Amino acid sequence: MSSYETRRETDRGFGLSRREVAVVGGASGLMAITVALMYAFATTPIAEVNQLVFSVPIVGVLVYGAAITIGDLIAERGVENGSTGTAFVGMAILQVAFAAFGAGVIAFLPAETRVTILGATAIVTAVLLALVSTYVYARSITFEHWGRFSTYGFLGGIVAILVGSFVLSELLLVGFVLIFLGFILRLGYEIWQVRDNRNASVGLQTIGVYVAVAGVFVHVLQLVRAYVLSQQ
């Protein structure tokens, strides 16, 4: 048994409580809105802005990373303080950031291809979510270390993309993989939080799961787009 397994034992089980259903339902609803916005933004200047900021990859990463971080902090602060307006502003920033990024990925593609790519991405993301959730709920251990490892993944990805933007372009792929892995680990961490922190705010947990799922979604979206285009 590893040191992580001995630190904190938790009950296994797959029966979802009303609180867990509320978190999953809330995050799913937010994700559905984000996907709809991606499709809507794809034919607007917002998609062109995405192309502009990513003309230098590290600039795009920093811009969207800052938007997601700021939106997350504002939304959580609003929930903690009971301020619906503040929470709404934070969620709006998060949704626009993820939607603008996704719109940039599917922009300049035929409308029917956009629908296909978004649909396929939703399916793959749902499968990944199911796999991670099953793993977390099947293990009677803490996943706190996944939160730390996700941070390492994000930081490592940023460094790799920084170097790849100016020195060694091959590192851009490494950066993509590290940040993608960071979001998957973050997803596992957030699911563990939902599983074990039963007295935590449903609103805060919903935001955490949404951000993790949205991060996974936009990375899968890029992979699906690349695959679809390779088949044409």
Q: What is the DSSP string of 71-126?
A: HHHHHHHHHHTT-HHHHHHHHHHHHHHHHHHHHHHHTTS-HHHHHHHHHHHHHHHH
Between vectors from CA 188 to CA 185 and to CA 191, what angle results, nearest 5°?
150
Mean pLDDT of the chain: 90
User: Rounded to the nearest 10 degrees, what angle do helices 84-106 and 111-138 cross at?
Assistant: 120
**In the prediction, which pLDDT does 197 show?**
83
Residue 189 has pLDDT above 60, yes or no: yes
Across residues 39-53, what is the average pLDDT?
A: 88
Q: Taking Cα atoms as reference points, which of 116, 114, 118 lies closest to residue 34? A: 118
Predicted confidence at residue 15, as pLDDT, reads: 61
135-188 pLDDT tens trace: 999 998 899 999 999 999 999 999 999 999 999 999 999 999 999 999 999 999
Is the pLDDT reported for residue 220 higher than 80?
A: yes
Q: Is residue 9 very low, low, confident or very high in pLDDT (cuts 50, 70, 90)?
A: very low
* Helices marked H in 42-56: 45-53
